[in-house]
Homo-oligomer: A and B are copies of this chain.
Amino acid sequence: MDNLYDPRFGDADVAACLSEEVRLQSMLDVEAALAESQAALDLIPATAAAVIRACAQEILYAPEEIARDAIRDGNLAIPLVRQLTREVAARDGDAARYVHWGATSQDIIDTGLVLQLDAAVPLIVDRLGLAAAAAADLARRHIDVVMSGRTWLQQATPITFGLKAAGWLEALARARHRLASAWSDARVVQFGGATGTLATMAPHGEAVADALAARLGLRRPGMPWHTHRDRLVHVAATLGIAAGSCGKIARDVALLAQTEIAEAHEAPAGSRPSPEPQSAGRGGGSSTMPHKRNPVSASVAIAASVRAPSLVATMLQAMPQEHERGLGTWQAEWQTLPDLVMCCAGGVRATAEMLRDLEIDPARMRANVDATGGLVMAEAVSMALAHRIGKPAAHDLIESACRRAATEQRTLQDVLLADAHVTAQLTPDEIARALTPEHYLGSARTIVQRVLDRYDQRLLERYSPRA
């Protein structure tokens, strides 16, 4: 039975690229392309290449046998090549000579992995684009919605929800660009033979390597990279960073969705018609508590941000691989990198859906700003006073006014109007104006507009969330 958690915490499309079936098939695709490349260079008979290709595509392999033999052989390629050779031999004894010619197991395993990732990573890049477009949409629609900025989980000074969403947008757009760029560097063929010299095909090794890369649509690197894993690790790191930014956004949403704050909510499950179950909203119910509306998508994104750092660390930790083939270090990558890709894909997808379906409550946002009786405007009044009496004196004056307001359960305005030190500097109108959140938003609108201008159009063209 497949892992039941994958669908929920992952992304079904990405999972499909990373399945065991596709893993084996990708390795077979490499073997077939290798034979074809060699045939095109007249190194092996064209008929042999044709039989190898046919067997690589048509034969049902025995995964149990491969798994069992891999225990002894130490990797999947050895038993897989053994089965392929057996099949080829059954059709054309001569062709069997040319299976896996010049390659080492790691060439097949690594290049197969690159093929799998070349399907999976662009999907995640696109999901990041969708998430960014959804954030852009939120920023545009709510550009002037006033809410509390919060530091240390305390109300601080007012911001707009547009500003918060613009921050999400920028982080997602950077994550998208960074992942795409790292993957572009990493989609290189692995082909070097046992120790990277391509000796078995001399003097044609270089030509075969070029042809193989071209046939698979991959780039050819400067040299084989069996024990230099930095390109893959960089991809892993950019995935981890994407998961981290999604975790930040999801944590914001989860905090806004708290019962007592209630400024944003995930759309409840089923609130949106969708052909896919994963797209139908995940605001989940409880098995026992009928009133709950749980931030399920946020939990998926946060879980990914908790898991990804360690999976990235394993990839980094496995880098010091011995000589021309790692001993236990390469092997440590085998489960880790697919797990990381799945985990980050799940976090990114959940974030994209969460943002697409996010319900904002501007009235509640405004009410929460008011709930402290003006305390959240303390800095604004302090700054207004500071223009007259300097920052330190203003800070002290307002700090004590805030304390009085809190202790005596009065609004800050009441306290200030009753304070001769304050009224000596500010008129009641000035005080009222200083206490109005809408007047204390600084550059928020300018910033949001600039960010939208930078990203919005390009993203919306490709990833319109409201099509």
Contacts and interface: CB of A to CB of B under 8 A. Distances in A.
A184 interface: no
Contacts of A247: 319-320, 328
Interface stretch (A114-122, A417-425, A439-447, A458-466): A439-447
A280 B390 contact: no
Interface in A189-213: 193-203, 205-206
A378 interface: yes
A26 interface: no
Interface string A389-425: 1111001101101100110000010000000000000
Contacts of A230: 171, 174-175, 178, 241, 244-245
A284 B328 contact: no
A323 B269 CA distance: 24
Given A71-B278, A195-B157, A234-B178, A327 B302 contact: yes
A331 B295 CA distance: 13
Contact of A223 (B286, B382, B451): B451
A154 B292 contact: yes
A197 B442 contact: yes
Contact of A319 (B244, B296, B322): B244
- What is the copy number of this chain in the assembly? 4
B150 A259 contact: yes
A332 B319 contact: no
Contact of A441 (B197, B201, B306, B371): B197
Contact of A289 (B194, B245, B406, B412): B194
Contacts of A405: 291
How extensive is the interface on chain A, given as a class? 35 or more
Contacts of A443: 197-199, 202-203, 205-206
Given A199-B442, A443-B205, A319 B284 contact: no
Contacts of A159: 195-197, 324
Interface in A53-84: 63, 66-74, 76-78, 81
B9 A335 contact: yes
Contact of A309 (B193, B313, B372, B379): B313
A313 to B, nearest CB: 4
Interface string A1-38: 11111111100000000011101100000000000000
Nearest to A375: B291
A399 B9 CA distance: 27
Nearest to A246: B320
Interface string A281-324: 11011111111111110111111011111111110111111111
A167 interface: yes
Interface string A85-114: 100010001101111110111000000000
A215 interface: no
Contacts of A78: 284-287
Contacts of A442: 193, 197-202, 205
B238 A234 contact: yes
Interface string A372-391: 10011011101100100111
A430 to B, nearest CB: 15
Nearest to A261: B260
B284 A72 contact: yes
A323 B368 CA distance: 15
B300 A331 contact: yes
A221 to B, nearest CB: 8
Nearest to A277: B68
A195 B295 CA distance: 17
11 contacts: A72-B281, A81-B287, A150-B195, A156-B325, A222-B454, A228-B245, A288-B395, A299-B327, A299-B328, A302-B329, A310-B311
Given A228-B248, A291-B399, A303-B329, 6 more contacts: A73-B285, A152-B294, A152-B295, A255-B323, A291-B412, A309-B314
